[in-house]
């Protein structure tokens, strides 16, 4: 497969059969997919902690089939949240087993304004096994509370990328 997938798809330029085959090949290499979406997660999770805190209601069972050398873990994470003061730097992670894997870092530009955060990560060295991944967050800098709750959505996709 070429190093780069086609990027010239426009409304008036549908993909050629060869371009569509390239994308299909890339998609079919992702295996063992699980998806979690929480609309207005259970309760409201707020924290001023500099260490990771679970966002309630954002876990799902998932099993990694290949050993650590056989595949990486792909995580796509999107969520909304807010900070009680402007200027906080927030970090969002996925916890797999006992390890937090950073996925998103974002600054809160306005106090009490819900902001959208989106990120993805390819995580190496995760052993095969059964897990319950959960989304977590912490305040990296600033003074206010980071909050995810009423009116917010947290979603992630997790899967394996064979090596």
| Domain-located, residue 54 | yes
> Domain containing 111 — which CATH number?
2.60.120.760
| Domain-located, residue 9 | no
- φ/ψ bin of 88: left (φ > 0), alpha (ψ from -120 to 50), beta (otherwise): beta
| Domain-located, residue 107 | yes
| Domain-located, residue 18 | no
| Domain-located, residue 10 | no
**Structural domains of the chain, count:** 1
Q: How many CA atoms within 13 Å lie on the side-chain side of 63? A: 3
- Kindly tell me if the per-residue pLDDT of 2 is higher than 50: no
* 85-124 per-position pLDDT tens digit: 998 899 999 999 999 999 999 888 899 999 999 998 989 9
Per the structure, the complete domain to which residue 155 belongs is given by: 32-162
| Domain-located, residue 85 | yes
């Amino acid at each position: 497969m070429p190093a780069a997938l086609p990027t010239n798809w426009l409304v008036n330029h549908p993909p050629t059969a060869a371009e569509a085959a390239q994308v299909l090949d890339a998609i079919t290499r992702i295996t063992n997919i699980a998806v979690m979406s929480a609309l207005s997660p259970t309760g409201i999770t707020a924290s001023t902690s500099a260490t990771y805190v679970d966002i309630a209601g954002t876990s799902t069972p998932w099993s990694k089939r290949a050993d650590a050398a056989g595949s990486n873990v792909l995580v796509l994470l999107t969520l909304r949240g807010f900070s009680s003061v402007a200027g906080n730097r927030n970090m969002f992670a996925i916890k797999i087993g006992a390890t937090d894997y950073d996925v998103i870092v974002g600054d809160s530009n306005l106090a009490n304004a819900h902001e959208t955060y989106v990120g993805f990560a390819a995580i190496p060295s995760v052993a095969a096994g059964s897990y319950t991944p959960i989304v977590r967050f912490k305040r990296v800098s600033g003074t206010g509370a980071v909050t995810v709750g009423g009116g917010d959505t947290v979603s992630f996709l997790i899967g394996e990328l064979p090596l």
